[in-house]
């Protein structure tokens, strides 16, 4: 039983770490795309201006509610499903 | 310096290959000839090639375990011995705790040379005679004949997933190098 609890604990830690890394990565991609959008719309204001920063900040507000951001929670589901699958195939087949 | 880097890279590649070769399941077409359990001494030198202790096999004061074994013969006539141990909830992640059932299945599938019943044994690990290590059998499937070689889907899928993860981490690292964590500590 102790081993089982330890497994759950380590799995949760690994999943949380992976979730954070993926979240940072996805947000970084989104910001980059927003900056490019701004640069295309305002060719007269090149570079990292306060206006662009404000645009990116406001565009990022709803990011946690997007489908992509919610699908990220699968990080906490898929490995557990895989483990259950392994348990089934190893012990009940 | 350049040669040192190359050498370290090659050694790392070999280590990764050996690790995957040890931990991933492999399938062998064999005929089961005998099943038994025997007191086996698990010494510090070969302990990592056995299941972690306290997972199902009891270890006595002399460091011996009553390990189940499955003796088999390959189609080419060479013999191969598997052990059959629970892995429990610990490494390697097979979560196997049905070794008693597997042993019963193996005993049931025993066959002689005259009327052979070929089976495919899925196992992980290495047989190293000088260290007394045996691959751990995970599952047994019956086959029609000695020439049948079922595809090893499990290992293929794990390899594909690992490659995809490697590609993902490579992309993440590239993005980090390009932009850092600037999105976090931005102050106007």
Question: B141: Cβ–Cβ under 8 A, 6 or more apart, which residues?
Answer: B119, B120, B122, B150
Under the banding of pLDDT at 50, 70 and 90, the label for residue B188 is very low
Cross-chain Cβ contact A28/B138 below 8 Å:
no
pLDDT value at position B185? 52
User: Is the distance from CB of B125 to CB of B74 less than 8 angstroms?
Assistant: no
User: Is the distance from CB of B16 to CB of B118 less than 8 angstroms?
Assistant: no
Nearest CA in chain B to A3: B89
pLDDT value at position B56? 66
Mind listing the pLDDT tens digit for each residue in B56-106?
677 788 878 889 999 999 999 999 999 999 887 877 888 888 889 999 999
Beta bridge partners of B48: none
Cross-chain Cβ contact B98/A90 below 8 Å:
yes
The nearest CA of chain A is from the CA of B141 a distance in Å of: 9
B27 sits in which H/E element: strand B26-41
CA angle B89, B12, B137 (to 5 degrees): 35
The tokens describing A55, both together, are 């645009």
Interface test with A, best of B175, B177, B184 (most A CBs within 10 A): B175
A17 sits in which H/E element: helix A2-41
pLDDT value at position B162? 95
Alpha-carbon gap, residue B108 to B96, rounded angstroms: 20
CA angle B90, B93, B95 (to 5 degrees): 80
% of chain B surpassing 90 pLDDT: 62
pLDDT value at position B12? 97
- For B121, other C-beta atoms within 10 Å of its C-beta total 24
State the average pLDDT over residues B11-30.
95
pLDDT at B181 over 80: no
Residue B24 CA, chain-centre distance (Å), reads 5
Ramachandran class of B147: left when φ > 0, alpha when ψ lies in -120 to 50, beta otherwise: alpha
Residue bearing the bigger pLDDT, A26 or B187: A26
pLDDT value at position A93? 67
Whether chain A has a CB inside 8 Å of the CB on B104: the answer is no
The tokens describing A89, both together, are 């195939």
Interface test with B, best of A63, A74, A91, A93 (most B CBs within 10 A): A91
State the average pLDDT over residues B40-64.
80
Alpha-carbon gap, residue A24 to B174, rounded angstroms: 13
pLDDT at B47 over 90: no
Under the banding of pLDDT at 50, 70 and 90, the label for residue B42 is confident
pLDDT value at position B187? 45
User: Inter-axis angle of helices A2-41 and B153-179, to 10 degrees?
Assistant: 50
CA angle B94, A7, B43 (to 5 degrees): 65
In A, which residues are within 8 Å of B139 by CB distance?
89-90, 93
pLDDT value at position B81? 95
In B, which residues are within 8 Å of A4 by CB distance?
89
The nearest CA of chain A is from the CA of B79 a distance in Å of: 25
Sign for the CA dihedral angle at B33, B37, B40, B42 comes to positive
pLDDT value at position B70? 95
pLDDT at A9 over 80: yes
- Ranking A74-78, B33-37, B49-53 by mean pLDDT, the lowest is B49-53
Mean pLDDT, chain B, whole residue set: 89
In A, which residues are within 8 Å of B94 by CB distance?
86, 90
Whether chain B has a CB inside 8 Å of the CB on A25: the answer is yes
The tokens describing B83, both together, are 């052990």
Cross-chain Cβ contact B95/A89 below 8 Å:
no
User: Is the distance from CB of B23 to CB of B48 less than 8 angstroms?
Assistant: no
pLDDT at B145 over 60: yes
- What is the interface pTM, i.e. ipTM, of the complex? 0.84
């Amino acid at each position: 039983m102790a081993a089982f609890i330890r497994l759950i604990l380590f799995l949760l830690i690994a999943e949380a770490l992976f979730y954070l890394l993926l979240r940072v990565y996805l947000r970084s991609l989104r910001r980059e795309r927003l900056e490019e959008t701004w640069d295309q719309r305002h060719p007269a204001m090149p570079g990292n201006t306060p206006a662009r920063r404000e645009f990116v900040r406001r565009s990022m507000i709803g990011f946690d509610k997007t489908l992509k951001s919610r699908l990220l929670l699968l990080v906490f589901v898929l490995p557990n499903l895989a483990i259950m699958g392994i348990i089934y195939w190893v012990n009940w087949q | 310096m350049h040669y040192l880097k190359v050498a370290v890279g090659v050694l790392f590649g070999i280590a990764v290959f050996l690790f995957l070769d040890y931990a991933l399941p492999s399938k062998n077409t064999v005929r089961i000839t005998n099943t038994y359990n025997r007191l086996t001494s698990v010494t510090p030198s070969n302990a990592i090639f056995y299941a972690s202790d306290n997972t199902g096999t009891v270890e006595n004061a002399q460091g011996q375990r009553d390990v189940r074994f499955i003796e088999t013969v390959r189609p080419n006539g060479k013999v191969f011995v598997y052990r059959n141990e629970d892995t429990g909830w610990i490494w390697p992640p097979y979560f196997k705790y049905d070794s008693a059932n597997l042993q019963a299945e193996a005993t049931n599938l025993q066959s002689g040379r005259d009327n052979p019943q070929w089976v495919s044994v899925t196992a992980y690990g290495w047989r190293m005679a000088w260290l007394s290590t045996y691959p751990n059998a995970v599952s047994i499937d019956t086959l029609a004949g000695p020439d049948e070689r079922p595809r090893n889907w499990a290992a293929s899928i794990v390899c594909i997933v690992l490659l995809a993860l490697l590609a993902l981490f490579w992309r993440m690292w590239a993005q980090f190098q390009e932009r850092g964590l600037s999105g976090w500590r931005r102050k106007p």
